[in-house]
Amino acid sequence: MEIKRRLILIVMAVFCVIMIGTIGYYVIYQGNSTFMDCLFMTVISLTTVGYGEITAVTGNVPAEIFTMLLITFGMGIILYGISTLTAIIIEGELSGILRKKKMEKEISKLSNHYIVCGGGETGRPVIAELVMNGEPVVLIEQSEEIIERCKEIGDLLYIQGDAADDASLAAAGIDKAAGIIVTLSSDKDNLFTTMSARMLNSRVRIISKVISKSLEPKMRRAGANSVVSPNYIGALRMASEMIRPAAVNFLDSMLRSSKGNLRIHQINVSDQSPLAGKTLMEGGLEQDHELLVLGVRYRNREMEFNPSPQLLLEKGMTLIVMGEVDNIARVRRKY
């Protein structure tokens, strides 16, 4: 906004100088010269091109005095405008380089972060939810306009480039990322980006968007751990709105309420977790951290819902919990 204001002031100042010169000559010659001749005389005087006088200045004292004043003050304004414009260009390029270097340095420090490929209609809500949950996020997006819209979510790290390009993925830290979410606008781009990400990191979790549900098997063969079709999910949501509106409203209220940041999340019981070998009650998730355990997923067994407080927690289990974002993050760091 500051740069735009400075540019407007420069343009207005130059325009005013030219108009003053043109009108001044027109008044001095009392209409004996056309407006275009006066404008031409003003421009060649200010630019000092030396084409010669098309209206008689030499010998006309008022015209000579006016020309000297016009050149002295007008040239000063024009030189100031040129120098300011040059400074804006240099400052913009320099600040852009410094900002890019700073961002690359911050991204290089990340590990176990999430990469979102594409910040469009699907990618932007994904970024907002990850940021809301306190997760480190890096966006890869080509469009500067889309990047600016995504930056409104918060302090966002991003790489401006093609998500399917190995260099962009590497710059986003694909080798140290915990997961990558591919939300580009075409299935072809999503497929190619998924394949590239899998080749660069065989361990990273990849969630890919598909527009055509029939391409899901191909996307999984390309390396996606999970495939999501917004059209299919949207259809299920519409049906749910019709037959179970209260349940849908509950979930929406939980995710969108401005009064709190309640979320459903997962906590993995790792080999080093102090939860292993304890019962659910002894783990203290509900009593100490105000987390409600909704379900438990075993490595090779089906999900168990509403588990008993006496359930023995084992290594490799995944607990599905509901609670405040800060409490969930604290427990995930601790366990």
Q: Per-residue pLDDT tens for 287-319?
A: 888 898 889 988 777 788 888 889 888 888 889
With beta carbons less than 8 A apart as the criterion, state whether 319 and 267 touch: yes
Whether residues 135 and 57 fall in one domain: no
- Which of residues 105, 140, 162 is at a domain's end? 105
- Condensed to tens digits (0 to 9), the pLDDT of residues 265-292 reads 888 888 788 888 888 888 888 888 889 8
- Report pLDDT for 119: 93
Dig out the tokens for 235 from the structure. Answer: 């259809």
- Report pLDDT for 302: 77
Q: From the DSSP assignment, how many helices (H) and strands (E) are in the chain? A: 13, 10
Is residue 206 one of the residues assigned to a domain?
A: yes
Give φ, ψ of 154 to 5 degrees: 170, -165
- Which of residues 105, 131, 148 is at a domain's end? 105
The answer, yes or no, to whether residue 2 has pLDDT greater than 80, is no
| pLDDT mean over 19-31 | 84
Is residue 252 one of the residues assigned to a domain?
A: no
- Which of residues 105, 135, 163 is at a domain's end? 105
In this prediction the pTM is 0.59
Closest CA to 204 of 164, 160, 159, 173: 173
The C-alpha angle with vertex 161 and arms to 158 and 164, in degrees rounded to 5, equals: 110
CATH number for the domain that contains residue 13: 1.10.287.70
Cα 174 to Cα 117, 170, 217, 261, 287: the distances in Å are 11, 5, 24, 29, 38
Is residue 247 one of the residues assigned to a domain?
A: no
- Positive or negative: CA dihedral 194, 197, 202, 205: negative
Pairing between strand 318-324 and 292-297?
A: antiparallel
With beta carbons less than 8 A apart as the criterion, state whether 2 and 10 touch: no
The answer, yes or no, to whether residue 73 has pLDDT greater than 70, is yes
- Report pLDDT for 96: 64
Is residue 240 one of the residues assigned to a domain?
A: no
- Report pLDDT for 93: 59
Is residue 282 one of the residues assigned to a domain?
A: yes
Dig out the tokens for 6 from the structure. Answer: 């400075």
pLDDT band at 256 (very low <50, low <70, confident <90, very high): low
Number of domains in the chain: 3
- Condensed to tens digits (0 to 9), the pLDDT of residues 93-117 reads 556 666 778 888 899 999 999 999 9
Give the domain range for residue 306: 261-334
Whether residues 97 and 123 fall in one domain: no
The answer, yes or no, to whether residue 1 has pLDDT greater than 60, is no
With beta carbons less than 8 A apart as the criterion, state whether 173 and 136 touch: no
Is residue 241 one of the residues assigned to a domain?
A: no
| pLDDT mean over 240-255 | 82
Is residue 187 one of the residues assigned to a domain?
A: yes
Question: Residues 6 or more apart from 318 whose CB is under 8 A from it?
Answer: 266, 267, 268, 269, 296, 297
Percent of the chain past pLDDT 90, that is, above it, reads: 33
- Report pLDDT for 285: 87
Whether residues 10 and 81 fall in one domain: yes
| pLDDT mean over 12-27 | 87
pLDDT band at 11 (very low <50, low <70, confident <90, very high): confident
Distance separating alpha carbons of residues 246 and 254, to the nearest angstrom: 12
* Most confident by average pLDDT, 69-83, 98-112, 187-201: 187-201
| pLDDT mean over 201-220 | 93
- Report pLDDT for 99: 75
- Report pLDDT for 54: 65
- Condensed to tens digits (0 to 9), the pLDDT of residues 130-169 reads 998 889 999 999 998 999 999 999 889 999 999 989 999 9
